[in-house]
Structure 1
Amino acid sequence: MATIDGLPPLREVIRAHDLVAKKQLGQNFLLDLNLTSKIARSAGDLSGSDVLEVGPGPGGLTRGLLAEGARRVVAVEKDPRALPALQEIAEAYPGRLSVLQGDALELDMAAHLTPPVKIVSNLPYNVGTELLIRWLSPTIWPPFWQSLTLMFQKEVAERIIAKPGSDHYGRLALLVHWRADARIVMSLPPEAFTPAPKVHSAVVHLTRLEEPRFPADGKVLNRVTTMAFGQRRKMLRSSLKGLGPDIEARLEAVGIAPTARAEEIGLEQFCALARNLAEAP
């Protein structure tokens, strides 16, 4: 597909604006507009939503989101070289694309969006996981977004949906499962990107829960899981001993064997332990 909207093909856009991908910005551009439209469709009906996109680059996914009917797209781009290309897209879709130049880790993006909000992004590899954790860890829940449709390295995507006992299971899977439903909706080979990364990629779709799956204090749960998975090969009575001298009794009180390892324990049990610790004097 050369074009979906009368604008030039993305290779021409990159050439015209000298948009060579920069490794230090985590850039790998997806140039096939068939694929960018497919990613946009995997986010569901966009017609009644504002869509947040982080790292649009030359605007391939941006164009897919707009062509698939997004009410409005707010694109956050750190690289000033991409702004002229994004401005051309804004002119082709009057009033439907706003571009914020800056670092997504520093901007209050929610302030620029009108609910309902969906986040759809081919995230820069170097900030993708940190952004996901931030979106899943606000002070107040439910958050400003309804769903996340995000591109990650395939290994990260597998960590997001991992189950207890699997090689990829860890803190990230727990945090996701606590507050959202997640599934991989699409996989992409390295050659789909320019430049081609050394790894495969995957798109993960997350739908928020209105309440966390099990009650727990988020800060306590975060501390427990950080300690548990920080030494995942150790028994929990060892990896969690910093939580108090009575940690074995607390583990047993919520039905967790002190000799178990973090990778064997499910979300419900971790939440029960977090509640037990939160109630401690």
Structure 2
Amino acid sequence: MSGSDDTPGLTQATARKALGQHFLFDPDILKRTALAAGPVAGRTVIEVGPGPGGLTRALLDQGAGKVIAVEADERFADALRSWPEAQDGRLHVILKDARKVRWESVLEELGASQPAMIVANLPYNVGTPLLVNWLKAGPWRGEMALMFQKEVAERICAKPNSDHYGRLAVLAHAVCDPHIAFTLPPGAFRPPPKVDSAVAVLHPLPAERVFPHLAKLEEVAGAAFGQRRKMLRAALKPLAKRHGLKAADWLQDLGIDPTARAETLTQDEFRHMASSLVK
């Protein structure tokens, strides 16, 4: 990511394919991404994979109170640490694989305000596992605006009876209200990826609508969509057996058609199945 080829302070270094790096350079797109989930003024914002710092600069320019940038590439981490905002405490740079960061501990150590927003052009190779962990996070995690491959963004935001509806959509809708803010063609990035990209915005649901048993929900959705062409009674047979149940009887008792397929089930039906397995 970056603000412009000529923007002062941005590191001009080549992307590393192994790290899934694709940088943005258009200042208008960067500003739009920075504000996609709402105003960042005065907020703590977590950014993963800042690269040259284009989105980092946009977040700071829009008044973010503190930006916590997690970067696995030491070339960019070192450069960002030289920024004036890193000297005055508004920018904190962590050189680490984002999958290994203990986010809540970092926020507490830095005395950062919570909930923290997460705004990032995510490296393609770590985006989905990071999102799943953030969906399971506690009250420290606030609004998210995340750049993914378009197909992944569609999977996150999908509704029942659509091609992209699956485990990821069930998990996302259990704790957030997700939607796609905008899409971008490959040419918007350097180097250009092979596919379109999209920013998925996820606003946390009100506390009373958040499903509390995400591990069970993930287990049920994973089993149901793991064999998505099968009827539920067949797809869920191994899961039901592990819980001492007969799949067809269990589903009928819950008021769910055993001959239905996973992509037809609503969020409430998935929640109903998951809740019934909580001991």
TM-score by length of 1: 0.89
Residues of 1 paired with 2:157 and 2:136: CA distance? 17
Kindly report which structure 2 residues correspond to 1:33-112, keeping only aligned pairs within 5 A, or say none: 33-91=27-85, 94-112=88-106
Kindly report which structure 2 residues correspond to 1:94-243, keeping only aligned pairs within 5 A, or say none: 94-113=88-107, 114=112, 115-138=114-137, 141=138, 143-211=139-207, 213=209, 215=211, 217-242=213-238, 243=240
Q: How many residues align?
A: 269
Residues of 2 paired with 1:206 and 1:3: CA distance? 24
Offset, 1:44: 1.4
Offset, 1:88: 3.6
Q: Where does residue 249 of structure 2 map in the other structure?
A: 249
Offset, 1:212: 6.3
Deviations 1:13-68 (A, max 9, x none): 443xxx11011000000011221111112231212211000000000000000001
Gap runs ≥5 in structure 2: none
Residues of 2 paired with 1:84 and 1:270: CA distance? 45
Q: Where does residue 274 of structure 1 map in the other structure?
A: 274
Deviations 1:119-169 (A, max 9, x none): 10000000001000000113xx4x311101100000011111101110000
Residues of 1 paired with 2:261 and 2:96: CA distance? 41
Residues of 1 paired with 2:27 and 2:265: CA distance? 42
Residue type of the partner of 1:61? L
Offset, 1:223: 1.2
Contact 1:90 1:98 in 2 (8 A): no
RMSD: 2.1
Q: Where does residue 258 of structure 1 map in the other structure?
A: 258
Residues of 2 paired with 1:212 and 1:262: CA distance? 25
TM-score by length of 2: 0.90
Contact 1:123 1:152 in 2 (8 A): yes
Within the candidate set 20, 30, 35, 1:26 is matched to 20
Residues of 2 paired with 1:44 and 1:150: CA distance? 13
Identity between Structure 1 and Structure 2 (%): 48
Residues of 2 paired with 1:103 and 1:273: CA distance? 35
Secondary structure in 2 aligned to 1:233? coil
Residues of 1 paired with 2:3 and 2:136: CA distance? 38
- Of the structure 1 ranges 148-157 and 82-91, higher mean CA displacement relative to structure 2 is found in 82-91
Residues of 1 paired with 2:81 and 2:23: CA distance? 18
Residue type of the partner of 2:250? R
Residues of 1 paired with 2:181 and 2:64: CA distance? 19
Question: In 2 relative to 1, CA 262–74 (structure 1 residues): closer, same or farther, beyond 3 Å?
Answer: same
Contact 1:188 1:200 in 2 (8 A): yes
Residues of 2 paired with 1:91 and 1:48: CA distance? 14
Residues of 1 paired with 2:3 and 2:176: CA distance? 35
Contact 2:81 2:87 in 1 (8 A): no
Residue type of the partner of 2:259? T
Residues of 1 paired with 2:63 and 2:194: CA distance? 33
Residue type of the partner of 1:131? L
Offset, 1:85: 2.5
Residues of 2 paired with 1:252 and 1:191: CA distance? 51
